[in-house]
Structure 1
Amino acid sequence: MAAGQEPRRIEADQGAPATAGDRPIELKIREIGQLFQSLDPLPFRERDLDAAVEEYVVAWAREQGGARPIHVLVHLPADEAEREEAGHIADAIRNYFAYRAEVAGWELKELFRVGRASLAIGLMVLALCVVLGAEVSGRVGDGYVGRFFGEGLIILGWVANWRPIEIFLYDWWPLTRRRRLYERLARAAIDLRPTPT
């Protein structure tokens, strides 16, 4: 940060509403640039949101829950509201969350791809362990040593399937919830409210 330069800061309405969905998500900024990553070289409508802005908006949207429409209200000085870029704020925010929803969808597809590959490998390992376990038990006998190797190999086979089971039972939920939240934010109503300087 250059000497004498004021630190970047986003002020947000910190008062918790009685019901999260009753109020819009409010952002108070001094300049439009505070909403977006300052180093992002892309055109204005395609820029990434500032990390603090994204975190705040996503947290409030998550609190609202359900499928209720999301409303974002951006407070900014009147002179900033008159700039050409101000007319593109809503599109830029919605485009950003539409892109994040798309990325979450890609991550979900990749997770399922890994899950399918892991399941194929896990089932082959399980089948091999069952065959080897039966072979070892047959050669060593049904005593403790034979049961130790036979049951140990069966356990190893099931452990090899732990990851695909975890993926298909649990890991996809958070990604699906995140994608739905981003999709809701991509459809949000976004309004600007000029404030006197």
Structure 2
Amino acid sequence: MNTPYRREGDTWQIDLRLDRLQQLADTRDPSPFSRRDLAPDAERYILDACRELPAHEPLALNLWLPAHELSAETAERARHTVCFHFAWQAENSQRRLREHLRMAHRTTLLGLCFMAVCMLLYNLIGVLDNLLAQTLAEGLMVIGWVALWRPVEMYLYDWWPLRRESRLLERLSRMPVSLRSLPDDPRGLAIASADAQELPAC
């Protein structure tokens, strides 16, 4: 697979370089650090990386920080921030999916009722033996079928992106998070793993 991301064993590595841990979270969020949203740039980078990597292979997030930023407390805060953010996003995504399916049920019921009315009018008008009545009757049937297109579209197509997003976010909420010591030379990023602080999976 041709990708800019590297592997350690069977696990794809997502590397994110930070000057300080505070850059990981959105500073506009007044919540405690471990419950803040991720910074938009950090979230976008992690999401894009996950979308580019194979969906069924393990991945891990490495946060590269200056050595003086590394500590057990920093590691725990980073882990909770990442896990909480993507778990919360996954929950919201699942809620949107459930709401979409509820709306699809309602839309289907409405479409079927409208189709039944159109068929009733078709049968009533169809007995009239003139061109205008026949044209109107055929038009009602076309409108009735068109009214069912949106429910079919919601069931067959629209829910897939929501389900895919939910799975992606669930995957990110469970990935291991590591803090690693940032090398003096940025070109050493890919090999500077000796000082890694591995955290358990979320």
**TM bracket (short chain):** 0.7 to 0.9
Could you tell me the TM-score, scaled by structure 1's length? 0.84
**8 Å CA contact 2:65, 2:180 repeated in 1:** yes
Q: Establish whether residue 164 from structure 1 lines up as the match of residue 151 from structure 2.
A: yes
Alignment of 1:29-178 (within 5 A): 29-82=18-71, 84-139=73-128, 141=129, 143-178=130-165
- Cα distance in 2 for residues equivalent to 1:190 and 1:18: 16
The gaps in structure 2 that reach 5 residues or longer are 185-202
Deviating 4+ runs (over 4 angstroms): none
The percentage of counterpart residues that share the same residue type is 34
Q: Find the residue that maps to 1:160 and give its secondary structure.
A: helix
Shifted more, 144-153 versus 67-76: the winner is 144-153
Q: Quote how far apart the aligned CAs of 1:18 are.
A: 7.6
Q: How far apart, CA to CA, are the structure 1 residues paired with 2:92 and 2:104? A: 18
Structure-2-length-normalised TM-score: 0.82
CA deviation string 1:46-80 (max 9, x = no partner):
11011111111011111113222221111011122
Give the equivalent residue in structure 1 for 2:171: 184
CA contact (8 A) 2:61 2:176 kept: yes
Contiguous gaps of at least 5 residues in structure 1: 1-14
SS at 2:127 equivalent: helix
**2-structure distance, mates of 1:120, 1:108:** 19
The 8 Å contact of residues 111 and 148 in structure 2, kept in 1 or not, is answered as yes
Shift of 1:22: 5.9
- Equivalent position of 2:180 in the other structure: 193
Q: Mean alpha-carbon deviation: is it higher for 22-31 or for 106-115? A: 22-31
Residue 178 of structure 2 aligns with an amino acid whose one-letter code is D
